[in-house]
Amino acid sequence: MNVDAKSINKFSAMAIILFLVIATFILLKPIFLAIITGLILAYIVNPIYKKTNSLIKRPTISAFIVSFLLLALVLIPLWFLVPVLVNQVFEIFKFMQGISFGKIVSSLFKGVPPEFTTQLSSVLSNFVNNTIVSVLNWLAKFLLDLPNLLLQGAVFIFVFFFTLRDQEKLKKYVSELSPLKKQQEKIFIDEFKGITNSIIFGYIIIGLIQGVAAGIGFFVFGVPRALFLTILAVFSSMFPLFGPWLVWVPAAIYLFSHGNAFVAIIFTVYCALIVSSLDNILRPYIVSKNSSISPVVALIGMIGGLLVFGLLGLVLGPLILAYLIIFLTAYKNKQLSSMFHQE
């Protein structure tokens, strides 16, 4: 009878916990990405916070200073660059709408039937028009969602601030909840840190540096729509197996085709020797070889994460896949059950 009572009590407790977890998920779902973004950025800038706190010795003030600097670093450039970027996007759209795809297709595929030329130029024209409509719809949706975005931003900055300030309490709380044995927990924390660093610093941060370096080249060598191309270069640099060359090579061809041969050569040398080499130079100093993630896993995770979570998916997607592989490897090696506390 006691056993049955204990089982009922245990089942009731588990049911209540499950209900509360589901209710909490529903409650936090609208701001889930803002919370995750705050946690990830707090992890990235934690060394800066620790350095600041070692000088000030006041966790609250240190977290406030770092939070303020982050906001200034994001909001001030956005205030000046967003209008320029929007203007450049519309200029590119106007330019693309004026392109005669029929002439381009005819010059590339000489001797093909006129029907093929007409059909292919129609497909290209429709693709460009649909892309323009999609981007314009996104911009309109962005403006309509501005109040919601401001609310998300407020959640993000609160999570960011308190994660920095109370990180030791948070670590202790998570450790106490963990079902893993202490030895396995330490191994997994080290592994997770390595993989997280590999993705965040090895792909995202280095990609940002490479894209900005390419952008400096666009501005210095007079490539039109340099700001828009810089953003494209940043994104292409973040994806493994791709790189900034996807943007700077067409830019170099543009400079050559417009009679700037000397400038185009210097620009190409700069991008080939400096921009495209930055990842090979920086990655060994930032990411340990033992914790590096497969480029294929990172690429698949980034693409899938981008489709599911948006921009944050560039980080979340590969992390989810990498952590899954860790547990699958432990299961394959018959080590999964030994990781957890035995009741």
C-alpha to C-alpha distance for 222 and 153, rounded to whole angstroms: 35
Res 223: pLDDT:
87
Range in 157-161, 209-213, 307-311 the model is least confident about: 307-311
How confident is the model over 132-144, as pLDDT tens digits? 777 777 777 777 7
Res 336: pLDDT:
59
Res 1: pLDDT:
45
pLDDT, mean of residues 206-221:
91
Confidence of residue 212 (pLDDT cuts 50, 70, 90): very high
Q: Over 70: is that where the pLDDT of 105 sits? A: no
Mean pLDDT estimate for the chain: 79
pLDDT over 70 percentage in the chain: 84
End-to-end CA distance of the chain: 21
187 or 123, greater pLDDT: 123
Query: DSSP of 9-77, one letter per residue?
Result: HHHHHHHHHHHHHHHHHHHHGGGHHHHHHHHHHHHHHHHHHHHHHHHH--HHHHHHHHHHHHHHHHHHH
How confident is the model over 304-343, as pLDDT tens digits? 888 887 777 777 888 888 778 777 777 777 665 655 554 4
296 or 231, greater pLDDT: 231
Res 68: pLDDT:
92
pTM of structure? 0.68
| Domain coordinates in residue numbering, the chain | 31-177, 179-343
Range in 114-123, 177-186, 220-229 the model is least confident about: 177-186
Res 180: pLDDT:
64
Q: Which residues contact 327 (CB under 8 A, 6 or more apart)?
A: 336
